[in-house]
């Protein structure tokens, strides 16, 4: 049997807390048991607080790619023009869904280590008439970058364009709300910053998005991809369109409770601070960040350009096999070009950032790089000056 890693610091799914593990030890309820209706309602309420929204939220079964496909399938009708803002692998993927459901994609793209300029969005929307939807990825996990979604979506709203945002790894990494950020459908995942288990899509849906779904000639209904089914069943009647994943809901309830106990402000700050420390370490080691500037680096993971003479596999495999720490490499087109230090969920903390940077240093030394051991960790430690757990809370 393959030896398991000691720490999973990949870019999602990641290690979950012992409290989250324990939450899944609750007995499996029948989904129409009043106790489960209560758990699900409670979880929905918590999700609204984590999303900081008054919009409806929908917890769909299956990981966020289902939520993204469902959003597009539920909104886009044949012939609809969709502005797809692309700054990475995940953004590019949106095009497949847009085409599959008959949409007509208009692409605005930048290199995969950059972020889109809101002015360019405005320019496209001004130039090209008849755009109904805008799709954009907030935190491009494979590149370790973020787009200025708040600015982009606000511009879209000026033009009456409905926005669909992939914030799968963004929720918890920045202090956002669908209303403030003008996101009509925002899709998040529990297995990234929230530190939960994969298997659910977390959507917030604006009244405008509901209206658009319902206004289609042939609204999508009676399908696993239907977001509207959730409105008419769960939201309006407290019934389920299918059997929900009882245990996954337990885990989600738990991670939302943990985040709110800490407060979203602290939760986000913890991720931002950890990411900053990781970047400081990378620079102190003389390595290059993949993101073209620190300003557009995401808080969920830090993408590092593979140093000359090494390979991503050598780094990842050595770190995994010798020191038991699993990190992620590139993905799709970015494969081989970068490795990603992970600081989502529990890993967004000085203890585990230090452990990870330490093992990263040790690995690079093993592979022949030359630097003063500890210089990366030292830079991270300096960044962490002023940190105080006691300002947050961490309970069991």
User: Of 282-321, which residues contact a copy of itself (CB under 8 A)?
Assistant: 320-321
Q: Which residues pair with 136 in a beta bridge?
A: 85, 165
Touching a copy of itself, residues 318-377 (CB under 8 A): 320-326, 328, 346, 349-352, 354-355, 358-359, 361-362, 365-366, 372-377
Q: Is residue 12 near a copy of itself by the rule CB under 8 A?
A: yes
Q: Is residue 26 near a copy of itself by the rule CB under 8 A?
A: yes
Q: How far is the CB of 129 from a copy of itself (least distance, A)?
A: 29
Secondary structure letter of residue 266 according to DSSP: H
Position among 8, 167, 169, 274 found at the interface with a copy of itself (CB under 8 A): 8
Q: How far is the CB of 305 from a copy of itself (least distance, A)?
A: 20
Q: How far is the CB of 45 from a copy of itself (least distance, A)?
A: 14
Touching a copy of itself, residues 156-175 (CB under 8 A): none
Question: Phi/psi at 316 (nearest 5 deg)?
Answer: -65, -45
CA atoms of 152 and 118, how far apart (whole Å): 5
Site map for a copy of itself, 244-273, x if CB under 8 A?
A: xxxxx--x----------------------
Q: How many CB atoms lie within 10 A of CB 236?
A: 9
Q: How many CB atoms lie within 10 A of CB 70?
A: 28
Nearest of 186, 193, 147 to residue 172 by alpha carbon: 193
Q: How far is the CB of 393 from a copy of itself (least distance, A)?
A: 5
| Contact call for residues 281 and 380 (beta carbons, < 8 A) | yes
Touching a copy of itself, residues 92-131 (CB under 8 A): 96-97, 100
Q: How far is the CB of 174 from a copy of itself (least distance, A)?
A: 22
Q: Which two tokens stand for residue 7?
A: 């720490």
- What is the CA angle 60-63-65, rounded to 5? 100
Strand, coil or helix: what is 87? coil
Stretch that binds a copy of itself, among 6-14, 47-55, 81-89, 144-152 (CB under 8 A): 6-14
Nearest of 235, 259, 216, 204 to residue 67 by alpha carbon: 204
Q: How far is the CB of 158 from a copy of itself (least distance, A)?
A: 32
């Amino acid at each position: 049997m393959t030896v398991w890693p000691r720490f999973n610091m990949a870019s999602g799914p990641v290690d979950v807390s012992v409290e989250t593990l324990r939450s899944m030890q609750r007995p499996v309820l029948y989904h129409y048991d009043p106790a489960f209706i209560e758990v699900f309602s409670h979880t929905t309420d918590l999700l609204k607080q984590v999303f900081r929204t008054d919009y409806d939220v929908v917890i769909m079964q299956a990981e966020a790619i289902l939520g993204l496909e469902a959003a597009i399938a539920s909104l886009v009708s044949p012939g609809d023009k969709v502005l797809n803002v692309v700054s990475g692998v995940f953004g590019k993927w949106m095009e497949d869904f847009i085409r599959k459901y008959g949409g007509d994609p208009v692409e605005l793209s930048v290199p995969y280590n950059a972020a889109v300029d809101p002015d360019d969005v405005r320019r496209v929307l001004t130039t090209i008439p008849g755009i109904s939807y805008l799709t954009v990825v907030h935190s491009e996990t494979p590149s370790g970058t973020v787009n200025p979604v708040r600015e982009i979506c606000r511009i879209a709203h000026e033009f009456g364009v409905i926005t669909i945002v992939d914030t799968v790894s963004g929720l918890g990494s920045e202090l956002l709300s669908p209303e403030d950020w003008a996101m009509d459908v925002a899709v998040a995942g529990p297995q990234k910053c929230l530190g939960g288990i994969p298997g659910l899509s977390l959507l917030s849906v604006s009244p405008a998005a509901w209206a658009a779904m319902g206004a289609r000639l042939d609204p999508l209904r009676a399908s696993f991809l239907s977001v509207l089914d959730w409105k008419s069943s769960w939201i309006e009647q407290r019934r389920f369109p299918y059997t929900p994943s009882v245990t996954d809901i337990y885990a989600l309830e738990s991670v939302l409770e943990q985040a709110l106990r800490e407060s979203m402000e602290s939760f986000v700050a913890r991720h931002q601070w950890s990411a900053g420390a990781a970047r400081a370490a990378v620079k102190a080691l003389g390595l290059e960040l993949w993101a073209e500037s620190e300003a557009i680096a995401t808080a969920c993971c830090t993408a590092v350009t593979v140093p000359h003479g090494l390979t991503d596999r050598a780094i990842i495999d050595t770190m995994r096999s010798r020191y038991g720490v699993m990190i992620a490499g590139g993905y799709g087109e970015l494969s081989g070009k970068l490795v990603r230090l992970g600081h989502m969920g529990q890993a967004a903390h000085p203890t585990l950032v230090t452990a990870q940077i330490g093992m990263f240093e040790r690995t690079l030394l093993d592979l022949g790089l030359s630097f003063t051991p500890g210089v990366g960790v030292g830079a991270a430690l300096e960044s962490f000056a002023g940190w105080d757990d006691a300002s947050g809370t961490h309970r069991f």
